Structure 1
């Protein structure tokens, strides 16, 4: 900023864009804007174009708006808005994204395409019906094809039973089955919270899967109804030296569980816990990338950030549990075979 102040003070107008580019590369955005403003409209236009080329659309949009450059850059506003919608869609904040679109037909169309890209075809139907849009596919006609070609086919995984556990008897039966297994996969889900600085939501669901059965534990209900039994059952499972527990990036789940249920002993100590993420040198793509690398297809994570506190879970949320479990289990089997 000092160099810019000196140039401005002595009315030195350094020509060329190299000076501007150097400031941008060093993330001196305020200095770059101040200098471009001092140099005049051509340099401001150059700055906007640099930001657009570098996908810094918010910076570009603010300069266009502040300096009345809408005529020179008519598309920057929509590009910025579309970028904001895409970030919200990636977090599954569809309602917020729709509110941001504010009924703008071009932005609503873009939101529909984002929903299609994510495989969230019910949202496509919902938006098309609400805004009377035509020419988009219907969810029932295309969801099966989309899932078959893009993600793991759950019908081929050999799972015999998916069991929802939210009461005492079910918890006891699940514990007996799991204690008889040598290897299980673990995973947790909780409702996302996008309010900056706010406290995370409680872990809502814990999945424990053997090679044939998947148990989905409703932790919130079990904790409210039978906390002592839940603590005892999970202590037996999580601390058992005879059961190998597999997870992917599970230290995040461990931390979240401890914060959610701090008064339970079961989440304070684990035995025989293996995080398979540490066994692979290339973690790109996360668990879905690992699934694609080993099994030839990724995971359907379009509901990853959905509301996991709603009861009952929707039919579209259930596949995420199964596809995660299968990857963890098949991965360890392949490692053991070699």
Structure 2
């Protein structure tokens, strides 16, 4: 950042307009950040103002403000703020009397012209002027009475002018400026309650509290009443606590806590709600009533046990909630004796045998809620793996401590297998959490053949897996246990059942969706939605035992099948220019009388960034490209793979004649690249006879190969092509 400082060293002999021009020049000079230049200039102005020409810095700043009005946008507002804030840094007690008097008179006149509309100044600058120069309504009245404009003399006087300007600020929703104006001119007779309501209704509760605090206790009490009526219990309680209004509003605390309990229950955070209600009988009763309200007999019984409530007194309430099963049970999907807890090397050997030969596995993870952790993100506590025959619950905390190598080998065996489809709902979030939780387990960095039910079948249901289960089977999952403490050992029976069911339900949901009798066109082939989830560590890093990252020059990231296609296409076509391949693919399908290519792009979180992957469907064949950092690049790589298939002579695109034209087009380019005009003419004559009226295929092939094969020699190729064709 470069700031020209010499014009600000001594301003005793400089005029205000000249000083403003120097400010603008310095502010616009260089390419540094505006905020940095603003602060640097402000500090220089503070140093320079004491040397302002007579009568002094205050008068000089008013003259500069008038000059900035003449200059106008875009710098008038920011530089006006700079000058006013710089002047406020000076000790007002040291202002000369003449400077103080002259500046007050000029600033009052300036503000008066703003009020009557003669000067257009941004409202935040305008309201700072009376605050900075210290004039009041009487000063404005003196200006009104001395005015020469007869239209102005007929106005209601200074207070009326200020109130008109104030109303204009309120209509523009400039509430901060309006409140500043009311405070400075002590307009307490203004309808404060209406203003409080307006400010709160527009979401500026902090400003409303500040304004009410300035006006006094009566307005504060009105604010608490209004916030309570409108459900802003937290704001009301904070005001009551800060201003010691508990005697006037004894229920403020419990209303605030009850609203918090209701929000937690709505999110399914029952355990957090229990912690909040602990030790307060009123909140406990309210939480129990919420369980009755949501018709959850199971949760009601659990609350009675936890808080040692009299079961007899709850009989009537429970009778209303026990009409039948409300949620899908584990026994409806798989027997409980098929659920196995794995926390040892022997258990991993059993798990390896159990997973042998399977085609599909449901995957889910659980971890302690971050809001209960009190620190950073919680590590994954358990990993659930479900086949059609059993469910394995891996105690990752224990396995990581006891047999890290065995765990790594088992995960790699399962995750690396392209023959086993890994089913999940929003599964990429679980896989990301796994890789971040156990960075020493490199097997978590790659998971092949991942199928996200949320994406593959277009099931982005509000309510998550529970809502999807209800849509498929007519009954939801009970998610109340989700936010429990998954690091506690042993896990409760409810936690084990919940964890097992979350993984086991994925397989029947997949079977139902895959076998629907009337699938939509984009659901015909779920295999095109298979993905490879990978976490690529920077600089080919690996993690040492102490958790630190170190260089490993022998480390090589596995390559997924689609990545091999991408690399092969690069070897075949070279590294193409982004942005053209999609156009070429569309041109090819149009010329070949095929349906337009259909791109399907999705994103998921990978490491600390968002990654995109894309597939393209051409003539009933789906190609997948490279995972990229943007949607555009992901689609580009998918098109690259598809076009490479055409280039190597496959018939996947369903038109042999067109494929042959592309092959012939390559021969033409070979001739053209040697600048052989006679060769081009001979080739054209031969191919014109071959294709007769189908020259549009031939022309398209020329365009295609000019752009994709001739990137490195496009200048050499384009001239003979244009001259011949």
TM-score (norm 2): 0.42
1:320 is the counterpart of 2:495 = no
1:260 is the counterpart of 2:260 = no
Within 5 Å, give how 1:296-335 maps onto structure 2: 296-335=474-513
Deviations 1:246-296 (A, max 9, x none): 111222222221122101121001111122223435431111122122221
Cα 1:79/1:211, change in 2 over 3 Å: same
Structure 2 counterpart of 1:123: 303
The alpha-carbon deviation at position 20 of structure 1 amounts to 2.8
The alpha-carbon deviation at position 45 of structure 1 amounts to 4.2
Match of 1:230 among 407, 418, 426: 407
User: What is the aligned residue count?
Assistant: 330
Determine if contact 2:333/2:505 at 8 Å carries over to the other structure.
no
The alpha-carbon deviation at position 15 of structure 1 amounts to 2.1
* Stretch moving more, 110-119 or 298-307: 110-119
CA RMSD of aligned residues (A): 3.1
Determine if contact 1:291/1:298 at 8 Å carries over to the other structure.
yes
Structure 1 counterpart of 2:135: none
Q: Higher relative contact order by CA 8 Å / sep ≥ 6: 1 or 2?
A: 1
1:27 is the counterpart of 2:203 = yes
Q: Distance in 2 between matches of 1:281 and 1:25?
A: 37
Give secondary structure in 2 for the equivalent of 1:246.
strand
Determine if contact 1:88/1:96 at 8 Å carries over to the other structure.
no
Q: Distance in 1 between matches of 2:316 and 2:416?
A: 48
The alpha-carbon deviation at position 302 of structure 1 amounts to 2.1
Match of 2:330 among 138, 150, 154: 154
Q: Distance in 1 between matches of 2:180 and 2:238?
A: 22
Larger radius of gyration: 2
Q: Distance in 2 between matches of 1:16 and 1:8?
A: 11
Structure 1 counterpart of 2:706: none
Cα 1:50/1:254, change in 2 over 3 Å: farther
The alpha-carbon deviation at position 28 of structure 1 amounts to 2.0
Cα 1:223/1:135, change in 2 over 3 Å: same
The alpha-carbon deviation at position 330 of structure 1 amounts to 2.2
Q: Distance in 1 between matches of 2:447 and 2:424?
A: 12
Match of 1:6 among 170, 174, 181: 181
The alpha-carbon deviation at position 16 of structure 1 amounts to 6.8
Q: Distance in 2 between matches of 1:268 and 1:281?
A: 26
Match of 2:368 among 181, 191, 194: 191
The alpha-carbon deviation at position 32 of structure 1 amounts to 0.8
Within 5 Å, give how 1:60-71 maps onto structure 2: 60-67=236-243, 69-70=245-246
Structure 2 counterpart of 1:175: 352
The alpha-carbon deviation at position 321 of structure 1 amounts to 2.2
The alpha-carbon deviation at position 9 of structure 1 amounts to 1.6
Determine if contact 2:421/2:451 at 8 Å carries over to the other structure.
yes
Cα 1:28/1:199, change in 2 over 3 Å: same
Within 5 Å, give how 1:22-171 maps onto structure 2: 22-39=198-215, 43-67=219-243, 69-70=245-246, 73-86=249-262, 90=269, 92-93=271-272, 96-99=275-278, 102=279, 104-114=280-290, 119-120=298-299, 121-129=301-309, 135-137=313-315, 145=322, 148-159=324-335, 161-171=338-348
Cα 1:94/1:35, change in 2 over 3 Å: closer
The alpha-carbon deviation at position 113 of structure 1 amounts to 3.2
Determine if contact 1:203/1:219 at 8 Å carries over to the other structure.
yes
Q: Mark the runs of 5 or more structure 2 residues left unpaired by the alignment.
A: 1-175, 517-725
Q: Distance in 2 between matches of 1:311 and 1:195?
A: 16
Determine if contact 1:179/1:243 at 8 Å carries over to the other structure.
no
Give secondary structure in 1 for the equivalent of 2:314.
coil
Determine if contact 1:300/1:323 at 8 Å carries over to the other structure.
no
Match of 2:449 among 256, 272, 276: 272
The alpha-carbon deviation at position 326 of structure 1 amounts to 4.0
Structure 1 counterpart of 2:386: 209
Q: Distance in 1 between matches of 2:506 and 2:198?
A: 47
Give secondary structure in 1 for the equivalent of 2:384.
strand
Determine if contact 1:163/1:215 at 8 Å carries over to the other structure.
yes
The alpha-carbon deviation at position 6 of structure 1 amounts to 1.0
The alpha-carbon deviation at position 167 of structure 1 amounts to 2.2
Cα 1:284/1:4, change in 2 over 3 Å: same
Which structure has more helix as a fraction of its residues?
Answer: 2
Determine if contact 2:270/2:480 at 8 Å carries over to the other structure.
no
Structure 2 counterpart of 1:288: 466
Q: Distance in 2 between matches of 1:69 and 1:228?
A: 62
Cα 1:197/1:326, change in 2 over 3 Å: closer
Q: Distance in 2 between matches of 1:91 and 1:125?
A: 14
Give secondary structure in 2 for the equivalent of 1:304.
coil
Determine if contact 1:112/1:127 at 8 Å carries over to the other structure.
no
Q: Distance in 2 between matches of 1:94 and 1:109?
A: 12
Give secondary structure in 2 for the equivalent of 1:230.
helix
Deviations 1:79-108 (A, max 9, x none): 112223445662613563244xx4x43223
Cα 1:294/1:43, change in 2 over 3 Å: farther
Determine if contact 2:366/2:499 at 8 Å carries over to the other structure.
no
Q: Distance in 1 between matches of 2:468 and 2:440?
A: 35
The alpha-carbon deviation at position 152 of structure 1 amounts to 0.4
